Amino acid sequence: MPFLTSAHLGLKKRVQDLVDKLIAPHAKDIEGASQFPRRAYKAFCREKLFALAMPKSHGGPEADSLSLALMVETISTVSPSSALLVFPSNAVLRTIALTGTADQKDRFFSELRGGDQPLAFCLTEPDHGSDAGNLATRAVAEGASYLVSGTKSFVTLGPNARYYLTFVRTGPGPRAAGISALLIPREAEGLSFGPPEKKMGLHGSVTSQMYLDQVRVPKANRLWGEGEGWRLLTEVANPMRVWGAASMALGAAQGLFNLALKHARREKSGGHSLIGQQAVSFLLADMRTRIEASRSLNYRTCALLDRGGAHPREMETLVSMAKYYASDTAMQVAGMAGEVMGQAMAVGDSLAARLFCVAKGIQIFDGSNQVQRLIVARNLAYVNENGGAEQGL
């Protein structure tokens, strides 16, 4: 892979070893049980994976997007639910690194440096998913604090996070203009959670509603200025979906392919294996090809993000393409894996069936694929005649 340095390959090996030893043997149980994946949590704490994005200035490795993508992809080949421990955590950590004041970084990073604290991201509300610009959770200023009330839905990590990066309405501005971003600590009075959602997949990732009843949050916990939350979301947080959701989808697709290939190579009674059937081998060839195409788009987009200098609209376009292409690919690969595996996937608690459901979930979350298409389509009106694509990588 031309984009990967020896540091990237070293990290990938470290995560792969951890996954092979501590996650893969239990993946089916983790993906099936509707509870916090403690085993994965402990393994990630030991390797400090929750703090991979911690800046060097605060004692961390300051992993770049490509490193984070490799971590999320590798874990997701067997347990996407486990990846949902470290993906939102590093996304929030990096958001603080990129937007926090010196005081905020000192305060939050001194607590998070240990690499054992999950962090959550709270944008969606019961009536505002894709339409997040109209969110209704309200923060009313009172002295040096806000009093926050409302309901957030589908909060990945539920009650298990240390801080919740929460998007709230602080001003009367039309739609997105009145939105601010607050870091709310778990122990804040008035903060509570509903039971875990009974999702079709990703059972090992706890997802709950979050209720805020007059929660007092210091203004000092606001990232960027009042009313700048939407800009923070679109300019800083959204690009992370390439190493987050897109890499999860890529990993899940690779995991499904691995299972299908193993199944097809297995010798059946009579001495032949399915891979000898041309129809089956063509399915596997298509799966492999689509996964490689998705991987190239992902890694190149991460590399451009890390290098910097690309036009923001072009960067936004590539990130959206990577997210919807990777998760649509995962869904296609899931269907093809089902054709190869037959009854071995039809069993509801098989890892293949679990990963099938994961693929659908990733098409929906972190900005639905239709919304990603809208972004790519909208930007076509602006991109320059050469297609706007950055050359040289």
Ligand X SMILES: Cc1cc2nc3c(=O)[nH]c(=O)nc-3n(C[C@H](O)[C@H](O)[C@H](O)COP(=O)(O)OP(=O)(O)OC[C@H]3O[C@@H](n4cnc5c(N)ncnc54)[C@H](O)[C@@H]3O)c2cc1C
Q: Counting contacts by CB under 6 A, is residue 122 touching ligand X?
A: yes
Q: Is 130 in the site for ligand X (CB under 6 A)?
A: yes
Question: What whole-number distance in Å separates Cα of residue 393 and Cα of residue 389?
Answer: 10
Shortest Å distance, C-beta 180 to ligand X: 15
How many Cβ atoms from other residues are within 10 Å of residue 230's Cβ? Answer: 20
Distances (CA, A) of 300 to 3, 65, 390: 7, 11, 10
Q: Judged by CB under 6 A, which stretch of 55-63, 97-105, 117-125, 177-185 contacts ligand X?
A: 117-125
Give whichever of 129 and 196 is closer to ligand X, judged by the CB atom.
Answer: 129
CB of 360 to ligand X, least distance (A): 9
Stretch that binds ligand X, among 241-249, 317-325, 328-336, 358-366 (CB under 6 A): 358-366
Contact region with ligand X (CB under 6 A), list: 5-13, 64-72, 123-131, 210-218: 123-131
- Give whichever of 256 and 274 is closer to ligand X, judged by the CB atom: 256
Q: Which of 59, 129, 335, 338 binds ligand X (CB under 6 A)?
A: 129
Q: For the CA atoms of 280, 281, 284, 289, what is the dihedral angle to 10 degrees?
A: -140
Q: Does 361 bind ligand X (CB under 6 A)?
A: yes
Region near ligand X per CB under 6 A, out of 5-13, 171-179, 230-238, 370-378: 370-378
Q: How far is the CB of 46 from ligand X (least distance, A)?
A: 24
- By CB under 6 A, residue 121 contacts ligand X: yes
Judged by CB under 6 A, the stretch of 119-127, 214-222, 244-252, 385-393 that binds ligand X is 119-127
- Residue among 22 and 376 whose Cβ is closer to ligand X: 376
Return all residues near 350 (Cβ < 8 A) that are at least 6 apart.
Answer: 28, 344
CB of 339 to ligand X, least distance (A): 25
By CB under 6 A, tell whether 294 contacts ligand X.
no
User: 216: helix, coil or strand?
Assistant: strand
Tokens linked to 232: 């923070």
Cα–Cα distance, 63 to 49 (Å, whole number): 10
CB of 370 to ligand X, least distance (A): 3
Q: What Rg do the C-alpha atoms of the chain give, in angstroms?
A: 21
What does the alpha-carbon distance between residue 236 and residue 227 come to, in Å, rounded to a whole number? Answer: 15
Q: What residues from 146 to 165 belong to the interface with ligand X (CB under 6 A)?
A: 154-156
Candidate segments 124-132, 233-241, 281-289, 318-326, binder of ligand X by CB under 6 A: 124-132
Q: What's the min distance (Å) between Cβ of 382 and ligand X?
A: 19
Q: Is 368 in the site for ligand X (CB under 6 A)?
A: yes
Residue ranges of the alpha helices (H) in the chain? 6-18, 27-32, 38-46, 65-76, 80-99, 102-112, 229-231, 245-265, 278-307, 312-341, 343-346, 351-364, 369-379
Q: How far is CA 307 from the centre of its chain?
A: 21
Contact between 207 and ligand X by CB under 6 A: the answer reads yes
Give the nearer residue to ligand X in terms of CB position, either 64 or 197. Answer: 197
**Residue nearest ligand X (C-beta atom):** 129
Give residues with Cβ within 8 angstroms of 75, minimum separation 6: 15, 19, 23, 40, 82, 83, 86, 251
One residue of 374, 376, 383, 389 binding ligand X per CB under 6 A: 374
Neighbours of 339 (CB within 10 A): 12
CB 297 within 8 A of CB 321: yes
- For the chain, the straight-line distance linking the first and the last C-alpha, in angstroms and rounded, comes to 12
- Does 36 contact ligand X by CB under 6 A? no
Q: How far is CA 318 from the centre of its chain?
A: 16
Tokens encoding 305:
């993000």
For binding to ligand X (CB under 6 A), which residues are involved? 88, 121-124, 129-131, 154-156, 199, 202, 207, 361, 364-368, 370-371, 374
